[in-house]
Structure 1
Amino acid sequence: MKYALLGSTGIFVSRVSLGTMTFGGKGIQPWDRMGALDQKAADELVGIALDSGVNLFDTADIYAAGESEEILGKALGARRDDIVLATKAYAPMGSGPNDQGLTRLHLTRALDASLRRLGTDHIDLYQVHSFDPVTPLEETLGALDDAVRQGKIRYIGASNFAAWQLMKALGVSDLGSRTRFASLQAYYSLVGRDLEDELLPVVRDQGLGLLVWSPLAGGFLSGKYTREGSSDADARRLKGGLPPVDPERGHDIVDVLRTVAARHDAQVAATALAWVMAQRGVSSVIVGAKRPDQLRANLAAVDIELTERDLRELDAVSAPEPTYPSWIVGDPAARYPRG
C-alpha cells in the first residue's frame, strides 16, 4: 500500500480506502441493491483491506439506516485504533422534523448515535454529508468545534459542497477561530471531471485533503460495461443510480482506458482508479466492494504507474468543455503554478 497526507493534517491515509455502502440494508431500499452484505461477508472484506495496508474506512449514518456503521464497528474490533475511521451526518435518521440537517441539535444526537453504533469513543474524521441551506454555518461549525474539544472528533470534513459553500465555511472557521474542515469528499472520475472547475482549485489552495467517492462512476468504469450492455446481470448501474454518465462519451473514454490498461497488463477498473490517484490534490480514492475479488482487483491500482503518454491520452478523451470564466482567462494554475 502507498500513503498520502490528508491535506495539511499531517496524518497519512492509504491511497485506496474502503467505503462501506455495501454493508447491511437487506430488504431496505435503496441499500438492498447496493450489496446488503451481512457481518460475515463484511468481516472478510475488512480483513482483506486491513491486511493490504488500508487504513482509512469510510461510512455514514444513513448507510443502511445505521446498520453499516454497526457492521463496520464489529468488523474492525480490536484493530479499531490501527485505522482512520470516517463517518458522515446530515441525512434524515428518523421521521421527526429535527432528525436531519446540520443543526447543533441534530449533529449532537447524530454523533452520539454514530459513536454508539461504531463501538468507539471518538471519530477520526467526522464529515457533514451535504450543505444545509437553512442552518447558519456558524452554528454547524460551532457544534463541530465543541465536539473536537470534547475529544469526540479528531478532524472534520465536508462532503458534496459547492466551491463557494466550502470557501465560506473555511472563512467562518478562520474568523471565529473554530476547527476548520480538513478534507472534502467529492465525486471525481474520468467520466465526471466537473470538480476541476472550482472545487479542486479550492482544495489545492486551502491545503485540504480530497477523498474521492465513486471513482469508477458507479461501476461504469469497471470494464464490464460495453456499448452492448454488461455481462454481469447483477451490475448495479443496470438498475439505475448515480452518478450520471453520458454513455456515448463514456464509452469513448473506456475504449482509451482499455488501451492504457493493456499496456500495463492491468484491469480497466484499476487503471481508472490510478488516473484519479495521479491527479494532484487527491489523497485517497474510496472503493466499495461486494466480493473479495473485486476488492483485491481495486487495491491493485496502487501499483500502476501511469506514464505521461497514458495521462495525455486519457486527458484528451475525457477533458470536459471549459466553462466560464476559464474559457476566457484560461487555467490560473497553469499560469501561476504553486507546485
Structure 2
Amino acid sequence: MIERRLGRTGMDVSVLGLGCYQFTEEFNVMQDTAYEILNYAMDNGITYYDTAEMYGWGESEELLGRALARHRDNPRLCCSTKMGYFERSVKEEYANTVRQTCAEAFVDPVKMMRALKHSMWLLQKDVIDIFNIHEPDWPQWQIDYETASGAAIEFLLEAKKEGLVRSVGFGGWDYHGLARLVKSGKFDFVLPAGGMSLLSKPIYDELIPACVERGVGVALGGGFGQNTPFLIVKDRRWMELLKPIEDERVQNVVKKLERIYRISDETGISLPELTIRYIINHKEIATHVAGARELAHVRQNIESAEKGPLPQDVFRELEEVQAIGECLPIWDLRDLSRELVKKLDHYTGGKI
C-alpha cells in the first residue's frame, strides 16, 4: 500500500488508516470481531490508527492498545488519540475512578494529565504518537483563536516538550477554526471529520491550503459521509426521495448522485472504492481513516486502497461533480437519510 509523510509528525503512514470507533460495544460489535478487524489491518498494510478516549467509553483505546501490544514487532504501526468528551472517557462502572464530568476538566492541566495518562495506560504506550484536542471549537476549552492559546493548548505543547507525546493537533468539524489554529504554526497534525466525500470537500476552501503552507499532517475522517447510505450503496430510490425536497442544496445532491452513480456504472467501481481511491488522488491528505464494523469492511477497503489513485479521466469526472454546486452538509444529509429510510419498503444497504 502507498505510504505518505504525515506532515510535521515525521511519520510515514499508509494512505488508508483505520478509524477505531465503530468496532466497539457502542455499535453492538463483539470484541472478537474487533480483534479480527485490528489483526487483519495490522497484518495487511494499515499502519495508522485513529481513536479517542470517548470512543466506546474507553473501549476503543483498550482494544487498540491490546492489538498494538500483540504486534510490537512492527515498528511502523502508529496511532493518534484525543482528549475531550470527559464525561464519556470510561464506562459507567469505572466512573468513580477516572471520569471527569465537570467543565473545569477542559481548562485544568491536572485533569488533562489524568486523561492523557489514562489513554497511555489503555493504549499500553509510554509515549503517544499523536495527541489531540477533540472538538476545539467547544466553548469549554476557552481557546483564543486569535493567539492560538488556552490551557488545553499549553498542556499539549508542554506534554510534547516533556516527551509524553511526539506530536500534537486537533480533531473536529469546524474547518475554519481548525485552519486558524493551523496557521499559528504551533501544531503538527489535524483530523477534519466529514471534510471530504464524493459530494463535497469543504476542507479545501481554507484548511488544506493552511496545512500545506505550515507542513501540517492531514488525516481525513468520515470520507463515506459519516456512513450516509446513498454514498455507500448505489440505490437510485434515494434520488426519488430527495427530488421532492425544495432545497437547492438537496437538489444539488440529487444532480451529483446521478453523475456519481453513472460513473460507478460505467467503470464498474463500487461507491466505497470510488471514495477511497478518489481521496488517495489528493496527495495533501496523508491518510483516510475509514471505520469498520465487520472484517469484510476492512478487507474491501484494503483491496480498494491497494489499487491506488483513480485513473485521471475518472478523477476529472468526479472533480466536475464537486463543482456542480453547494450541497447540504454531510452531517445534515446523514440525519436526513435516517428519516428517508423510513419511507423505503425495504433497505438492506449501508448502515445508518
Q: TM (normalized to structure 2)?
A: 0.75
CA contact (8 A) 1:17 1:287 kept: yes
Distance 1:248 1:163 in 2: 24
Secondary structure of the 2:86 match is: coil
Paired residue type of 1:62: M
The answer on 1:43 being equivalent to 2:51 is no
* Cα pair 1:267 1:297 within 8 Å, conserved: no
Paired residue for 2:343?
none
Task: Please say if residues 179 and 211 of structure 2, whose CA atoms lie closer than 8 Å, have aligned partners that are also in contact.
Answer: no
CA contact 2:252–2:325 (8 Å) conserved in 1: no
The match for 2:153 is 141
- Quote the residue 1:64 is aligned against: 56
What is residue 97 of structure 1 aligned with on the other side? 102
Paired residue for 1:185, among 183, 186, 191? 191
1:292 deviates by 1.4
CA contact (8 A) 1:90 1:102 kept: no
Q: How does 1:70-85 map to 2 (within 5 A)?
A: 70-80=62-72, 81-85=75-79
1:202 pairs with 2:194: no
Cα deviation, residue 103, structure 1:
4.3
**Change beyond 3 A, Cα 1:217–1:171:** closer
**2:143 is aligned with 1:154:** no
Q: Distance in 2 between matches of 1:162 and 1:294?
A: 28
Matched, 1:14 2:28: no
Partner of 1:54: 46
Q: Taking structure 1 as the reference length, what is the TM-score of the superposition?
A: 0.77
**Percentage of identical aligned residues:** 23
Alignment partners' CA distance in 2, 1:171 and 1:138:
16
In structure 2, what is the equivalent of residue 334 of structure 1? none
- Counterpart of 1:313 (choices 311, 317, 330) is 317
Q: 1:250 to 1:165 in 2, by over 3 A?
A: closer
Alignment of 1:97-176 (within 5 A): 97-98=102-103, 100-101=105-106, 103-131=108-136, 132-133=138-139, 134-136=141-143, 137-160=149-172, 162=174, 165-166=177-178, 168-170=180-182
CA 1:152–1:274 in structure 2 vs 1: closer, same or farther (change >3 Å)? same
Aligned to 1:332: none
The change in CA–CA distance for 1:287 and 1:78 in structure 2 (over 3 A counts) is same
RMSD value, Cα = 2.7
| Alpha-carbon offset, residue 225 of structure 1 | 4.8
* Structure 2 segments unaligned to the other structure (5+ residues): 88-98, 144-148, 240-248, 327-352
Q: CA deviation at 1:162?
A: 4.1
Residue 214 of structure 1: how far off its partner (Å): 0.7
Matched positions, count: 294
Helix, strand or coil: the match of 1:128? strand
1:117 Cα deviation after fit? 1.5
Q: Distance in 1 between matches of 2:12 and 2:34?
A: 24
Taking a change above 3 Å as real, the CA distance of residues 123 and 99 of structure 1, as seen in their structure-2 partners, is farther
| 1:282 equivalenced with 2:285 (yes/no) | yes
* Paired residues of 1:90 and 1:101 also in contact (CA < 8 A): yes
Unaligned runs of 5+ residues in structure 1 are: 26-30, 175-179, 231-245, 323-339
**Residues 106 and 152, structure 2, Cα contact 8 Å, conserved in 1:** no
Query: Which fold has the larger relative contact order, with Cα–Cα distance below 8 Å and residues 6 or more apart in sequence?
Result: 2
Cα separation, 2, equivalents of 1:251 and 1:170:
34
Partner residue, 2:296: 293
What is the CA distance between 1:123 and its match in structure 2?
1.0
User: What amino acid is the match of 1:74?
Assistant: R
Q: Could you tell me how far 1:127 is from its partner in structure 2? A: 1.3
Tell me if structure 2 keeps the 8 A contact 1:92–1:99.
no
